């Protein structure tokens, strides 16, 4: 049984369309999230936390809205900014910009514990010590998710959709959907199937579902 681990019912509604063969269950667990400038490491670490909690295969979904004219803000901080500023104020800030282009990104992290703790290779060990010496975020070293022998491997799947920030329209979706326009419609004006057909989450889920079916 695969568990799609999220506290967000909007994500579940969209993911169900890809994962509805009965072998997936939702797990409402708020796994601890690290702070990072990129979604990949957040999803990877979240998948490990969720796997440890669930004790079986898990899929986690880390997503965010990246506004071009704000250097990608709120990006990985989208959830915090939605709760604090709110989406109307994000729109107001973007309305003052010349460049209102934005993108949604989604990274899915899958972890099932496979491939863990196999080779106590001395070279891996050296790398790991170097990474530890570099500090908790591995400063000065690129994130190499899943390469060291003592870290649970995670498989990542990414999706992206371009659009622009507009005044809120539409009743559907969740989060920033009313202020994100793609192809003349906001995501909140689209039904779930239409949003999935173009969205960051739909793209990432499609890649995951394909890989999962032939693994
Ligand atoms: P979980 O971590 O429990 O899955 P969450 O809502 O906190 O739920 P994230 O940490 O990934 O999820 O935060 C994502 C933020 O970006 C959050 O504010 C969402 O509302 C927003 N977001 C993500 N995908 C979105 C989408 O498809 N449409 C609108 N907003 C989205
Ligand atoms: Na979260």
In angstroms, the CA 195 to CA 121 distance is: 46
Please give the distance of CA 199 from its chain centroid, rounded to a whole number.
12
Centroid of ligand 1 to alpha carbon of 34 (angstroms): 15
- Domain spans in the chain, listed from the N-terminal domain onward: 2-116+152-213, 122-148
Sign of CA dihedral 28, 84, 137, 146: positive
pLDDT tens for each residue of the chain, 215 residues long: 899 999 999 999 999 889 877 778 999 999 999 999 999 999 999 999 999 999 999 999 999 999 999 999 999 999 999 999 999 999 999 999 999 999 999 999 999 998 776 544 444 433 444 444 434 443 333 444 545 557 899 999 999 999 999 999 999 999 999 999 999 999 999 999 999 999 999 999 999 999 998 88
**CATH number of this structure's domain 2-116+152-213:** 3.90.950.10
Q: Residue 55: which residues within 8 A CB-CB, separation 6 or more?
A: none
Does the CB atom of residue 181 touch ligand 1 within 6 A? no
Centroid of ligand 2 to alpha carbon of 30 (angstroms): 7
Does the CB atom of residue 177 touch ligand 1 within 6 A? yes
Ligand 1 nearest-atom number relative to CA 29: 3
Residue 62 designated active-site = yes
- Pocket test residue of 160, 176, 188, 190 for ligand 1, highest count of atoms within 8 A of CB: 176
Q: Given the cut 0.95, state whether the ipTM is greater than it.
A: yes
């Amino acid at each position: 049984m695969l568990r799609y681990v999220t506290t967000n019912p909007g994500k579940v509604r969209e993911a169900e369309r890809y994962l509805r063969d009965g072998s997936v269950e939702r797990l409402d667990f708020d796994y601890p999230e690290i702070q990072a400038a990129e979604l990949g490491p957040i999803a990877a670490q979240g998948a490990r936390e969720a796997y440890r909690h669930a004790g079986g295969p898990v899929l986690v979904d880390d997503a965010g809205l990246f506004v071009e004219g704000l250097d990608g803000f709120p990006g990985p901080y989208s959830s915090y900014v939605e709760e604090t500023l709110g989406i109307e104020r994000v729109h107001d800030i973007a309305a003052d910009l010349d460049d209102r282009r934005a993108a949604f990104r989604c990274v899915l992290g899958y972890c099932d514990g496979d491939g863990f703790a196999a080779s106590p290779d001395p070279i891996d060990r050296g790398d790991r010590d170097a990474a530890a010496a570099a500090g908790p975020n591995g400063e000065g070293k690129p994130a190499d998710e899943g390469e060291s022998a003592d870290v649970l491997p995670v498989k990542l799947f990414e999706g992206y959709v371009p659009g622009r920030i507009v005044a809120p329209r539409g009743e559907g979706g969740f989060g920033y959907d009313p202020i994100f326009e793609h192809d003349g419609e906001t995501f909140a004006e689209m039904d779930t199937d239409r949003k999935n057909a173009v969205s960051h989450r739909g793209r990432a889920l499609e890649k995951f579902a394909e890989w999962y079916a032939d693994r």
